[in-house]
């Protein structure tokens, strides 16, 4: 039987164009010791509203409140089969003018300059999404990314599809 894990996270930038990233604690179940975005699991009552889950996670992990987050938009929906589990992640982009106010036992928060983001030890799907985002930040639509193998070398990759209504031109 396949299980499903739903998650929601944010690429939260500040006025200096730095990304708020978390170096995950070594005792975490998912991606211990790796760098990631602020976010987490979608609770059952949030399944239809991943944005609500993302805002809750931001507040829980940083103390930053909804009214302090600007221009929050859905930018990616990522799908991956991992060890018999279907993982679906909603990634938003946003900006803020405030710094985190709290510490969390989930890991350490750091503002990372844009030019240094990909220098971190990142989970596979997060790295691929960041590479895509940093090469195409001006998209006017969200993207669907499905993890799979490339057709040439069978290397892990993400297959990107614009998330648009095919009936609207």
67 lies in some domain: yes
Position 106 scores a pLDDT of: 87
The domain of 149 spans 3-162
- With a pLDDT cut of 90, the percent of the chain lying above it is 75
Q: Average of pLDDT values for 8-12?
A: 98
Strand partners, 63: none
Q: Is residue 29 part of a domain?
A: yes
| CATH number (domain holding residue 13) | 3.90.79.10
Asked if the structure places residue 169 within a domain, the reply is no
Q: Is residue 11 part of a domain?
A: yes
> Does 168 reside within a domain?
no
pLDDT digit string (tens) for 100-127?
Answer: 998 888 899 999 999 999 999 999 899 9
Q: Does residue 119 belong to any structural domain of this protein?
A: yes
Residue 145 lies in a domain: yes
Mean of pLDDT over the chain: 92
Structure confidence at residue 1 (pLDDT): 77
Does the structure show a pLDDT above 90 at 137? no
In terms of Cα–Cα distance, which of 4, 2, 7 is closest to 31?
Answer: 7
Count of the separate structural domains present in the chain: 1
| pLDDT at 54 (0 to 100) | 98
Kindly report, residue by residue over 72-106, the tens digit of the pLDDT: 999 999 999 988 899 999 999 999 999 999 888 88
Model confidence at 167, pLDDT cuts 50, 70, 90, reads confident
CB 9 within 8 A of CB 94: no
Residue 91 is predicted with a pLDDT of: 98
Q: Give CA–CA dist 44/67, Å, rounded.
A: 24
Q: Three-class SS of residue 126?
A: helix
The pLDDT tens digits for 25-43 are 888 777 778 999 999 999 9
Tell me the pLDDT band of 3, cut-offs 50, 70 and 90.
very high
Domain for residue 167, yes or no? no
Helices marked H in the chain — which ranges? 50-62, 124-135
Strand partners of residue 161 = 144
User: Residues with Cβ < 8 Å from 5, sequence gap 6 or more?
Assistant: 41, 85, 86, 87, 88
pLDDT classification of 169: cutoffs 50, 70, 90: low
């Amino acid at each position: 039987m396949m299980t499903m894990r739903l998650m929601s996270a944010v690429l939260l930038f500040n006025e200096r164009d730095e990304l708020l990233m978390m170096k995950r604690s070594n005792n975490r179940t998912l991606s211990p010791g790796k760098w990631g975005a602020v976010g987490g699991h979608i609770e059952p009552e949030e399944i239809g509203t991943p944005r609500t889950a993302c805002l809750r996670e931001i507040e829980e992990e940083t103390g930053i409140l909804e009214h302090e987050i600007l221009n929050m938009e859905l930018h990616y929906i990522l799908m991956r089969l991992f060890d018999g589990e279907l993982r679906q992640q909603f990634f938003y982009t946003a900006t803020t003018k405030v710094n985190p106010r709290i510490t969390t036992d989930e890991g350490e928060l750091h503002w990372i300059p844009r030019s240094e983001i990909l220098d971190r030890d990142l989970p596979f799907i997060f790295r691929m999404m960041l590479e895509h985002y940093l090469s195409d930040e001006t998209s006017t639509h969200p993207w669907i990314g499905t993890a799979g193998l490339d057709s040439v070398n069978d290397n892990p990759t993400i297959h990107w599809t614009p998330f648009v209504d095919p009936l609207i031109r």
